[in-house]
Amino acid sequence: MPFTLFGRTIRKIGVIGSGNIGPDIALHFSQNLYTYGVPVVVVDIVQAALDAGSKKAESKMAKAAEKGIFKKEAAEAIFKNMLFTADYGKIADADFVIEAAFERADVKHKIFGQCQAACPNTAIFASNSSHMEPEVIFEKMRDKSRCLVIHYFFPAERNILVEIVPGRDTNPALTEYLMKLYEFIGKAPIKVKSRYGYAVDPIFEGLFEAAALTVEKGLANVKQADVIVQKALGMGVGPFTAHNLAGGNPITRHGLSEMNSKIMPWYRSPNILDEQVKSGKPWETAGRGETVEYSLETDEAVSSRVIGAYFGMVCEIVGSGISNIGDLELAMDTGLVLNPPFSMMNKNGVKKALELVEAYARENPGFKVADILIKQAFLGQPWKIPVVFREDNGEVAIVKIRRPKVLNALNADVFEQLREIFLGIHKDPKIKGVVLTGFGTRAFVSGADIGMLAAQKTPEEAEAFCLKSMAVLNLIESLGKPVVCAMNGLAFGGGNEMAMSCTVRIAAKGQKVFVAQPEPRLGIIPGNGGTQRLPRLIGMEKAWPILRNGNHISSSQAKEMGLIQEEVEGDLIERAIDWVKRILSGKVTISPIPKGPIPVPSILPDVDIGHLSRKIDSLIQRAVLEGGRMTLEEGLKLEAKTFGECLLTQDMKIGIESFLKNGPRVNANFVHS
């Protein structure tokens, strides 16, 4: 059964190379496409590599089954969907081939020459190169329009970041298809223009260089530099440990040497790296549980230099035009697992960031101080870091919330950027309608950022907080142009409240966990219109348990209740655009949400709230019942005021603290006061 989506069909995927990363790339494809019947074939000319790759994939799926990530039957099916073979003929009918072999032009030319001769003339050819420009890799290909780089990051089946790097001749439609495809299969793709090393590796390898130079200068030893840099940048592991894990010394040595002429003269292979590559030994880093001692002076000397290098490198990359602030911030946070640089600069002050970069440049000849950093420091303004994006498709604006690490949770930046974008859409005569969606397939919006809720200190402050965010949803509701919410995943709390402010709601089909108002589990009530819009959309009787027990409903239940208009198989965004066009043409008429009072039955269903706070439940009931007898505008104000009253209870403090400490799976021990 072929996989057809976004205007293209994939029947088979080929991965060439069964070394460090090829089997993991193949495993990720199989995990996401095995249910569609798309086989994944791994080809290598070395049988030992194939055997090792197969064993590695089988072991990973066995562990995933043990941990409950996949059911045993699914884990076995995923592995059986993969074929490890030395026969290139097995990928002759592949529609998508990814090469993950040696980082050498002659090797890549030979591989793609074979693919060009054997595979369909419509097949996509991609290289998982970490450095080489697509123009170099594919220079001998007859049809370069279907060729590009797709750069994965370790470990490829779990790390969500991929760089999509089109070449000069790559068909832009293919690039956009792959951006959609990778988002659909659970990755966070960023589009990067062609340059040696792309956007991420100059930072990964540059941070290693900066750390290594502090060792060369006698400021610290390897163990000290490793743990200091890890702490200073919030890294999962230090730069030396990362190179041990990934076996990255040889490729970093080569990459830094090439970057010297292709990016800036500061990049070079440090002497200690040259020696380490010759020895073939790993770096001597701290063992598990080992405490590494160092002075405050050593800490300051290493961290200030590496942070200065970090800020300088990311600004050089954005200034070069190959990437942008939003994508690079996402890449550092999700792919390299370190503190996002522009947020870090905003926290420390952009002027202070410039001082660190300038100090580093004075000490390190050839290090560039980017003009964009100089200009931003002169303005005295923080960086604007986009998390909400607008892309116009003819007369329809597509607005997407992108915070994959927190499942697109709402925070102050999201609300402010939504406000700015929707005001711009309101004033734009070219735009007739909007599609509002979230990034990925797991969540439209998972709710409000808990830290943002926990920051409210007084009832008055909480009420004002609600009214401010409600104003954004009111703007969406009263835009004067149809807004279709394409609910690409679950919508909890503020996510469902945002969706309800839209003209129409459609959802990806078959979501077992879809909508919930889980606020009672946190010891609070909904604060963005949930108690007012939900009863108006589906009726008081159906809304009553959803608002009080915090349980989720499926997408099919939401459709039956009238909360959403359609469950969609296939391209959700295209269907949402179609909804906008049908509304504009008059083919579909959507009744607006009732703005006046609604019927409040004298008898409502009994609701078992279990362990939930009876005090908070009484506030929810009051907001729902009294708000139903008011206009929507009055009801929203009542909800905001009642939300503020939650701060006077013990149970809000208990609920928030329990969530922050234990997560959502542990019930809070409410005291009902």
DSSP symbols for 90-112: GGTT-SEEEE---S-HHHHHHHH
Pair 573, 486: CB distance under 8 Å: yes
Question: Cα separation of 342 and 332, whole Å?
Answer: 10
Pair 649, 673: CB distance under 8 Å: yes
519 catalytic residue (yes or no): yes
Pairing, β 396-401 against β 388-393: antiparallel
For residue 283, the tally of other CB atoms under 10 A from its CB is: 22
Provide the 3-class DSSP secondary structure of residue 395.
coil
Among the listed residues 133, 519, 639, 645, the single catalytic one is 519
Pairing, β 82-85 against β 40-43: parallel
Which amino acid is it at 294? Y
**Residue whose entry in the numeric block shows the structure tokens 């209740």:** 561
Question: Cα separation of 605 and 112, whole Å?
Answer: 65
Question: Cα separation of 335 and 152, whole Å?
Answer: 9
Among the listed residues 329, 497, 639, 645, the single catalytic one is 497
Pair 165, 142: CB distance under 8 Å: no
Question: Cα separation of 673 and 651, whole Å?
Answer: 6
Pair 640, 467: CB distance under 8 Å: yes
Give backbone dihedrals phi and psi of 453, rounded to 5 degrees, phi first: -70, -40
By the 10 Å C-beta count (0-12 exposed, 13-18 middle, 19+ buried), 210 is classed as buried
Question: Cα separation of 517 and 552, whole Å?
Answer: 7
Q: Would you say how long the chain is, in residues?
A: 673
**Residue whose entry in the numeric block shows the structure tokens 């609070």:** 524
Pair 495, 611: CB distance under 8 Å: no
Question: Cα separation of 486 and 438, whole Å?
Answer: 8
Calculate the alpha carbon distances from 393 to 252, 262, 397, 433 in Å. Answer: 41, 36, 6, 10
Nearest to 212 by CA among 277, 288, 160: 277
316 catalytic residue (yes or no): no
Calculate the alpha carbon distances from 638 to 179, 379, 476 in Å. Answer: 43, 41, 20
Q: Which residues are catalytic?
A: 497, 519
